Amino acid sequence: MAARRLIPLLDRVLIDKVQAATKSTGGILLPESVSQKVNEGLVVAVGPGRRNKDGDLLPVAVKEGDKVLLPEYGGSQIKLGDKELYLYRDEELLGVLKD
Amino acid sequence: MAARRLIPLLDRVLIDKVQAATKSTGGILLPESVSQKVNEGLVVAVGPGRRNKDGDLLPVAVKEGDKVLLPEYGGSQIKLGDKELYLYRDEELLGVLKD
Amino acid sequence: MAARRLIPLLDRVLIDKVQAATKSTGGILLPESVSQKVNEGLVVAVGPGRRNKDGDLLPVAVKEGDKVLLPEYGGSQIKLGDKELYLYRDEELLGVLKD
Amino acid sequence: MAARRLIPLLDRVLIDKVQAATKSTGGILLPESVSQKVNEGLVVAVGPGRRNKDGDLLPVAVKEGDKVLLPEYGGSQIKLGDKELYLYRDEELLGVLKD
Amino acid sequence: MAARRLIPLLDRVLIDKVQAATKSTGGILLPESVSQKVNEGLVVAVGPGRRNKDGDLLPVAVKEGDKVLLPEYGGSQIKLGDKELYLYRDEELLGVLKD
Amino acid sequence: MAARRLIPLLDRVLIDKVQAATKSTGGILLPESVSQKVNEGLVVAVGPGRRNKDGDLLPVAVKEGDKVLLPEYGGSQIKLGDKELYLYRDEELLGVLKD
Amino acid sequence: MAARRLIPLLDRVLIDKVQAATKSTGGILLPESVSQKVNEGLVVAVGPGRRNKDGDLLPVAVKEGDKVLLPEYGGSQIKLGDKELYLYRDEELLGVLKD
């Protein structure tokens, strides 16, 4: 059975947060304060965008597969099947990361 | 006699909430905390949409029969006959679920 | 002498609230909590509508004779002769009821 | 000497409030609570109206001589000679009364 | 040397307030409460006006020499040489007085 | 080496405040309350202006060299080399002074 | 491996703050209060800009390499690799510095 999908509405963006490294490369458990608070995520799905005052659709600025820098606050947590994902507004996302 | 109907006004959407599973498949009563807080619902009826500043009608983004993800808060409860339904603004709905 | 009339201004709608059934069909007086809090009313008169930013008139979404679902709060009570009526903004009305 | 006149600015409307009947028809002094709180008035003068965002003038919705229903609150009291009048914004007026 | 002048910016209006009559015509000093709180003034200078959203200039509604009714609150006091004047926004002025 | 310059951004205006006369013409030190609180300044530099909703640039209303009347509050203090200057928004300036 | 890059979204600007001189030219450690609180920074990267109401892109007012004066407050701190940078909105930046 195909996994459940969510198509975000308006200018919402579905994000899969990158989990912070809790172990050092040598496998030692990092204390909370050390395991760097990672605010990054992968774009899983994007909404169609928001309408401007004339009714034209303003597309969202990121696309599926982009790695984005997330604000410290904001975003709402949702459950899709047993996966924990986050919904942000396009406007909240800080930038696209290029490694 | 045909059941009573409500035609939502403006960009309002009438939702029939999916009831959370209170019993496990084996029939055992799940404690409140376990019976997963379900924020999903079925679109029963939609309003014509909101007018933009030029007076043109901006249609609502969902349609009758869509299964939608609801925000944790918001929506106003109404009674139609003996059915308990909810009215949301189109803007509040998070996304359309595809199973 | 013709009864006094009020022509609402802008996007206001004059509503005659449906009185809640205070007696059961068998004629027994229903306690307050039981006599279902009815939020319905009949549209008595409508204003011309509100102007959009270009000055065009955006007509009100309901018409005289419509039965409408009212929000739990809002609306201002007025007296017209000895009748008690309510003025709502078009935007506040939840939907049109079809029996 | 012609009485002093005030030409309201923008979308303001000058109102002469109808004084509440403090005596019953039989001439007996009505206690405050009984003398019905009358929220009606006569339009004495109107401003040119407000400009919309394109700079066009949106005329006021009432005219001199109209009898209007006033909101319970709002309006600022002014003195013109020894007459006590009230200034409302066009937007505040509830409706036009037709006897 | 020509007296100092102030050219108000945007939609500001420079007002010389009419001083309240503190003596009765017979020359007797009126107590504060009696000396009617006068909210009138003479327009000394006007700004060019405010730009609407298209960038066009919306002229101010009053002109030099007009006698205007002032709101009870608002306006900022300024000193020009030894004269005490007041700056209001065009939007704050209530109306033009015609004696 | 040319002195450091600041080109204000958007509708900001760089102001050099006129220092209040702290000594009377006879050279006697004036107490703080007497040394008139001077809210005047010289325009040192202006930004390009703000964009209206169509994206066109709305020029700032004052120019370099103008003497302006400043509001009692507002403006942010900055240091340019060892000079103390102030940044205001064009909208905050009250008027242009003509001596 | 190329260093990690961040492409700011919308009208955000990535800034590398100039570190305040903590030592006098003679090499003596300056106490905190003395080491002048420097609010300057170098533009590292700029977003595409914000869309106006018609959907057109309004470019950001500064460009890579500009030296800018920063407001006392605002800006959010981010980590890119081991570099500490700051994200501002174009609107927050005070001016461009020309040495």
Q: pLDDT value at position F15?
A: 97
Facing residue for E87 by CB, picked from F62, F68, F94 = F94
Most confident of B68-82, C9-23, E9-23: B68-82
Q: pLDDT value at position E53?
A: 75
Contact F9 G62 (CB under 8 A): yes
Which residue, F62, F82, F52, is CA-closest to F14? F62
How large is the ipTM? Answer: 0.82
Q: Which residue has the tokens 């174009």?
A: G90
Give the pLDDT band of residue F10 (cuts 50, 70, 90): very high
Q: How many CB atoms lie within 10 A of CB A20?
A: 14
Asked if residues D7 and E96 have their Cβ atoms less than 8 Å apart, the reply is yes
* Predicted confidence (pLDDT) per residue in F36-87, tens digit: 566 999 999 999 999 887 788 889 999 999 999 999 999 999 988 889 999 9
Kindly give the confidence (pLDDT) of every residue in chain D, 99 residues in length, as a single tens digit, with 9 standing for 90 and above: 467 899 999 999 999 998 766 666 566 676 655 555 669 999 999 999 998 877 888 899 999 999 999 998 999 999 888 889 999 999 999 999 998
What are chain G's partners, defined as 3 or more CB pairs within 8 angstroms?
A, F
Say if residue E42 is exposed, middle or buried (CB neighbours under 10 Å; 0-12, 13-18, 19+).
middle
Q: Which residue has the higher pLDDT, C68 or E35?
A: C68
* Predicted confidence (pLDDT) per residue in B32-48, tens digit: 555 556 699 999 999 99
Q: What percent of chain E has pLDDT over 70?
A: 79
pLDDT at E1 over 60: no
What is the distance between the alpha carbons of residues A19 and A39, in angstroms, rounded to a whole number?
Answer: 9
* Predicted confidence (pLDDT) per residue in D55-75, tens digit: 888 899 999 999 999 998 999
Q: pLDDT value at position G82?
A: 85
* Residues of A whose CB is below 8 A from G55: 52, 54, 56, 58
Contact E61 D48 (CB under 8 A): yes
Q: Which residue has the higher pLDDT, G16 or C20?
A: G16
* CB contact A32 to G (< 8 Å): no
Give the pLDDT band of residue C65 (cuts 50, 70, 90): very high
What is the distance between the alpha carbons of residues D4 and C96, in angstroms, rounded to a whole number?
Answer: 50
Residue D10 C-alpha, separation from nearest chain C C-alpha, in angstroms: 15
Q: pLDDT value at position A89?
A: 97
Q: Which two tokens stand for residue F79?
A: 């240091």
Q: pLDDT value at position B55?
A: 80
Asked if residues G70 and G42 have their Cβ atoms less than 8 Å apart, the reply is no
Q: pLDDT value at position C52?
A: 82
Options 2.30.38.10, 3.40.50.300, 2.40.10.220, 2.30.33.40; which CATH number does B12-96 get? 2.30.33.40
pLDDT at F99 over 70: yes
Average pLDDT, chain A: 86
pLDDT at E20 over 90: no
pLDDT at B60 over 70: yes
Q: What percent of chain B has pLDDT over 90?
A: 57
* Predicted confidence (pLDDT) per residue in E37-47, tens digit: 669 999 999 99
Asked if residues F15 and F80 have their Cβ atoms less than 8 Å apart, the reply is no
Asked if residues D79 and E20 have their Cβ atoms less than 8 Å apart, the reply is no
Q: pLDDT value at position E19?
A: 75
Which residue, C47, B53, C16, is CA-closest to D90? C47
Q: pLDDT value at position E2?
A: 62
Geometric angle at alpha carbon C54, from C50 and C58, rounded to 5°:
30
Q: pLDDT value at position E54?
A: 77
Q: pLDDT value at position F17?
A: 95
- Domain F12-20+36-96 part of CATH 3.40.630.10: no
Topology (CATH level 3) of domain G12-19+28-96: 10 Kd Chaperonin, Protein Cpn10; Chain O (2.30.33)
Asked if residues A30 and A21 have their Cβ atoms less than 8 Å apart, the reply is yes
* CB contact G63 to A (< 8 Å): no
Q: Which residue has the higher pLDDT, F34 or B90?
A: B90
Asked if residues F53 and E53 have their Cβ atoms less than 8 Å apart, the reply is yes
CA nearest to A46 within chain B: B95
Facing residue for A6 by CB, picked from B58, B61, B97 = B97
CA nearest to B3 within chain C: C99
* Residues of F whose CB is below 8 A from G99: 4
In terms of CATH architecture, what is E12-94? Roll (2.30)
Give the pLDDT band of residue C54 (cuts 50, 70, 90): confident
Kindly give the confidence (pLDDT) of every residue in chain G, 99 residues in length, as a single tens digit, with 9 standing for 90 and above: 467 899 999 999 999 998 766 666 566 666 655 555 669 999 999 999 998 877 888 999 999 999 999 999 999 999 888 899 999 999 999 999 998
State the average pLDDT over residues E59-84: 93
What are chain B's partners, defined as 3 or more CB pairs within 8 angstroms?
A, C
